[in-house]
């Protein structure tokens, strides 16, 4: 009988973090510098950050002049959606004003962040991947904390000053991420590079340990970059690649995980990351 649970749930039962994106409550003041030290959508040199006065002025406009989610996206595919990079300062401010009135903080619409590593316990400016308008609005409103989802990082981020509490805690006290399989000590980086290409790296050495191009080439590679095993043509399949890799990393790829990776495409989808209705904000 097939296991219909998510790969993350299967991983937890095996004591592993598999493609997790943990969710936490994070103090807004610990992220203030991300949007108040500079203008987040820098188009010209030294453009000053959005001010509270500018937001107040936008809030005085008729509500139909404010801009709700769905009008802009980083990579728009809908002809009625504009590119974020072409959004003017005035339009950004009217988007923030909409959030200041309407945004209801929720796990579904959490800020999306990457790893937090700086020595002061704050994320670097490039680490906030999605949610600048929401964060500015939350700071303007005086919200003390906000939901933040991390697409990669380490469970030790709970020791940083901005951390408030876990809503969805990592399965292990170690690395996690959308491309990470970890037992808290060893880890693998699982990188799909198109529908027919897979590269797997060893998390400790950073070296490539598996290279798969479906129906062409399958290689298992040693820590020094030398092929240990190769298969060509129709033998180069995902199920065979996972089988060989599980033999080399049995603790990271026990049978339930190996089966899910080899058979079920849902395992490659990051969990819990949802853009706000039609666009990035």
User: The pTM is what?
Assistant: 0.85
Of 267, 273, 275, whose CA–CA distance to 9 is shortest? 267
CB atoms within 10 A of CB 147: 19
Query: How many angstroms separate the Cα of 103 from the Cα of each of 91, 108, 120, 184?
Result: 17, 12, 29, 36
CB atoms within 10 A of CB 161: 10
How far apart (Å, rounded) are the C-alpha atoms in residues 254 and 250?
6
- 17 within 8 A of 154, measured Cβ to Cβ: no
Mean pLDDT in runs of 10 for the chain (281 residues)? 78 95 94 86 79 97 95 84 87 97 93 68 62 96 96 87 92 92 94 89 91 94 88 93 95 94 58 45 68
């Amino acid at each position: 009988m097939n296991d219909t649970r998510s790969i993350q749930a299967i991983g937890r039962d095996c004591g592993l973090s598999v493609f997790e994106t943990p969710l936490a409550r994070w103090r807004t003041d610990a992220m203030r510098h991300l949007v108040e030290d500079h203008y987040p959508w820098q188009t010209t040199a030294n453009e000053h950050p959005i001010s509270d006065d500018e937001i107040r002025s936008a809030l005085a406009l008729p509500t139909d002049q404010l801009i709700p989610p769905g009008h802009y996206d980083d990579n728009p595919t809908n002809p009625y959606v504009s590119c974020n990079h072409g959004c003017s300062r005035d339009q950004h401010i009217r988007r923030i004003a909409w959030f200041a009135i309407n945004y209801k903080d929720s796990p579904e619409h959490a800020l999306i962040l990457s790893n937090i590593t700086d020595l002061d316990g704050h994320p670097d400016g490039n680490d906030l991947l999605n949610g600048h308008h929401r964060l500015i609005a939350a700071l303007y409103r005086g919200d003390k904390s906000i939901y933040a989802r991390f697409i990669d990082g380490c469970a030790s981020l709970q020791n940083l000053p901005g951390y408030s509490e876990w809503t969805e805690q990592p399965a292990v006290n170690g690395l996690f991420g959308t491309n990470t399989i970890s037992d808290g000590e060893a880890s693998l980086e699982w990188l799909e590079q198109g529908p027919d290409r897979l590269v797997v790296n060893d998390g400790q050495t950073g070296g490539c340990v598996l290279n798969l191009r479906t129906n062409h080439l399958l290689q298992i590679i040693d820590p020094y970059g030398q092929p240990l095993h190769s298969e060509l043509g129709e033998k180069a399949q995902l199920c065979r690649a996972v089988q060989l890799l599980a033999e080399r990393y049995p603790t990271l790829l026990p049978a339930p995980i190996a089966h899910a990776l080899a058979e079920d495409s849902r395992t490659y989808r990051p969990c819990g990351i949802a853009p706000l209705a039609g666009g990035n904000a």
